[in-house]
Amino acid sequence: MPENRKNSMKQNYQKILEETIAANQREGRIPTLLLHSCCAPCSSYCLEYLSEYFKTTVFYYNPNIYPDEEYAKRVQEQKHFIERLPVRYPISFLEGKYEKEKFYEMARGLEDVPEGGERCFRCYELRLREAAETAVSQQMDYFTTTLSISPLKNAQKLNEIGDVLAREYGVAYLNSDFKKKNGYKRSVELSEEYGMYRQYYCGCVFSKRQRDEEIAAKAEHMAIAEKEELEE
């Protein structure tokens, strides 16, 4: 099959992950993994699952988070969850720099692009590139991200970016789609079980603005419907 045709086809990244884990187990390996995390709730199932097979370092690098208080809240929630989660293999925490200017520079000209579009794809790349660089400096066997746990995130694009960076930096990307096999559902259950702070927007100022507008529009629609019902 031609390479360009192969790369354009949708992959079953959960199956690839399971095959990678099985290969490591056959070899008796417990690899090291740098797991980029966007927030504690999204990391919950990922860590429960991955800690059975990897020695994991959670890498919190999210220059997109707005505002500063939200960033600090998410960092503390991430640390707190790691401290409480029972695991087979150890989990450590590493916080990256809060480089807001890098995010806004990346987003320039894309401020009005809806969530899930080109701005988000560039944000994936920004964070995964930092994760790849850190994985190399920390001498990790693999790097990956929790982002694919969300039904709103493009797992195909995340894995494509990860694979490109893996070749560029010479460190393996752990292909994955954590929402599969009820992964997202389990993350919601764990969030409730641990009483985690679960934010209502993805993280950046643009996602917050869009979500606030959606909530306001829904409230207005409900108010109009109630008024019409009372007038009948």
- 1 part of a folded domain: no
> What's the pLDDT tens digit per position in 168-177?
999 999 999 9
List the 91-95 sheet strands across, edge first: 91-95, 55-60, 32-36, 142-145, 172-173
What confidence category does residue 225 fall into, taking pLDDT thresholds of 50, 70 and 90? confident
- 5 part of a folded domain: no
> What's the pLDDT tens digit per position in 52-100?
999 999 999 999 999 999 999 999 999 999 999 999 999 999 999 999 9
State yes or no: pLDDT of 45 exceeds 90: yes
State yes or no: pLDDT of 3 exceeds 60: no
Predicted local confidence at residue 224, as pLDDT: 76
Query: Which domain does 202 fall in, by range?
Result: 12-231
DSSP-derived secondary structure for 76-142: HHHHHHHHH---SS-EEEEE----HHHHHHHHTT-TTSPTTSHHHHHHHHHHHHHHHHHHHHTT-SE
Average pLDDT over residues 204-222: 92
- 124 part of a folded domain: yes
CA distance 163 to 166: 5
CATH number reported for the structural domain that contains residue 157 in this entry: 3.40.50.620
- 7 part of a folded domain: no
Predicted local confidence at residue 112, as pLDDT: 94
- 3 part of a folded domain: no
Average pLDDT over residues 140-157: 97
pTM of this structure: 0.92
CA distance 216 to 221: 9
- 154 part of a folded domain: yes
Report the domain count for the chain.
Answer: 1
- 153 part of a folded domain: yes
- 2 part of a folded domain: no
Q: What does the mean pLDDT of the chain come to? A: 94
Instruction: Give, as one character, the DSSP assignment of residue 65.
Output: -
